[in-house]
Amino acid sequence: MYIIRDITKLLTNSSAGIQILLGPRQCGKSTLFASLFLDRAYKEITFDDFQMRQLANQDPALFLQQFEPPLLLDEVQYVPNLFPELKKIIDKMKRAKVLGEFNPTKPLFRLTGSNQILMDKNIKESLAGRASYYYLNTLTVHEILQALPNTAIKDILFKGGWPELYVHDNNISVTAYLNDYIRSYVEKDIVLAAGIHKTSEFLTVLRLCAARTGQEMDYFDIHRDSGVSSVTVKEWISILDRADLIYQLRPYFNNLNQRLIKRPKLYFLDTGLAIRLQGWSEALPMLSSPQIGGLFETLVVAEIVKFIRNYGKDWELFFWRTKDGREEIDVILKTSKDDVHAFEIKYAIHGITHPIPFPPAFKKTFQPKMPLVIITSGGEKLKLSAECRTLPIKELHYYLSEI
């Protein structure tokens, strides 16, 4: 079973000579690219294969001579020496295009990379201006429900968006799968690439971050609970951000400097990973725990972030709060036209029945034209008042599509 990804249209509309798709391991990058090659013959090469990796790094020109494009090159962060050769090929193609000798309408090379840290170190500068970059994370709620419409939101919360957990008829243990993922990807790929020597301390910080998903980031708080210095905690959280495991939502300020220095809210981009790191092995106890509000908020924020990436939007996301903390809005979405959409997130199985007014300070600052949208886990899409409506998360994709 193949689950159609929302980013597909963005990729198929691009004619760049090289497309690079970045994102965590096992989120479906190579499967997605393979689906785009169905109309023509292609060769897939993975650099998890040590022999292929060695050949490509030792003699990249010889390596590429052996394979006729189009090529799907998987896990390219391991072959930095290949990129100068790809640069030569693309530059030659551009010259031929100017002379009218060659004008490809589809990418010649589609590359995937799951280790953003190694990509940043070795690769990005080599193809500046010659490749189009895209970001894929785990499945969205919309993608899952399009393929499996009877899937419950509580199951999506618990499993997260890992494709393997949806395409094999639930024969895979969620707990075992995510344990293996943490051991293989987080403990090895990220830790080694970032040069982290204190693996156990890093995992402790990671679990403390998972316990705080949906909350304002407090480096001193994590330092106190982990014994790791605040400076190191901040550095490690930056690594998790670059690895695309977490997202930091900035507070809204008119002053850009204030936005950058004030503490963000931290969200995991996959609730399944956050829930496993919190220690839950069953969905039912999790649903009645104090963490459920933060976990559902995490699911909603991740859905919005993924939508922005999948459709190439230039929107900005913030949270908003008064200085005294008495008034706040969970998420503000600001479009390129400066339209402001405000979202409150409430885990309510049967929806919300009473309207929530805009905070007075928010109305004064933004003078919102659109109603406040309360996103819930269930219930129906309802207009509760002139300035408030409810929206179940299953409808969020369609709401965003109309902005």
Q: What tens digit of pLDDT does each residue of 27-53 get?
A: 999 999 999 887 667 899 999 999 999
The tens digit of pLDDT for each residue in 206-257 reads 999 999 999 999 999 999 999 999 999 999 999 999 999 999 999 998 765 5
What is residue 363's predicted lDDT score, i.e. its pLDDT? 93
Average pLDDT, the chain: 90
What is residue 121's predicted lDDT score, i.e. its pLDDT? 65
The tens digit of pLDDT for each residue in 263-305 reads 999 999 999 999 999 999 999 999 999 999 999 999 999 999 9
Residues 6 or more apart whose CB falls under 8 angstroms from that of 100 comprise none
Classify each residue of 86-116 as buried b or exposed e, where b means 16 or more C-beta atoms within 10 Å of its C-beta.
bbebbeebeeeeeeeeeeeebbbbbbbbbbb
210, 278 in Cβ contact below 8 A? yes
Fold of 8-135: Rossmann fold (3.40.50)
- Alpha carbon separation from 34 to 44, 74, 190, 191, 201 (Å, rounded): 8, 11, 25, 29, 38
What is residue 198's predicted lDDT score, i.e. its pLDDT? 87
The tens digit of pLDDT for each residue in 165-200 reads 998 766 789 999 999 999 988 877 788 777 788 888
What is residue 227's predicted lDDT score, i.e. its pLDDT? 95
What is residue 103's predicted lDDT score, i.e. its pLDDT? 55
**CA atoms of 40 and 32, how far apart (whole Å):** 15
Q: Which long-range contacts (CB under 8 A, 24 or more apart) does 120-128 make?
A: 120/242, 122/77, 122/80, 122/83, 123/76, 123/77, 123/80, 123/83, 126/80, 126/83, 126/84, 126/86, 126/87, 127/18, 127/20, 127/83, 127/86, 127/87, 127/90
- Residues 127-146, mean pLDDT to the nearest whole number: 92
In the chain, which segments carry CATH 3.40.50.300? Answer: 8-135
The tens digit of pLDDT for each residue in 318-362 reads 999 988 889 999 999 999 888 999 999 999 878 788 999 999 999
Secondary structure of the chain: what % helix, strand, coil (to 5)? 45, 15, 40
Question: How does residue 15 score in pLDDT terms, banded at 50, 70 and 90?
Answer: confident
**CA atoms of 297 and 214, how far apart (whole Å):** 6
Q: Taking 60 as the threshold, does the pLDDT of residue 118 lie above it?
A: yes
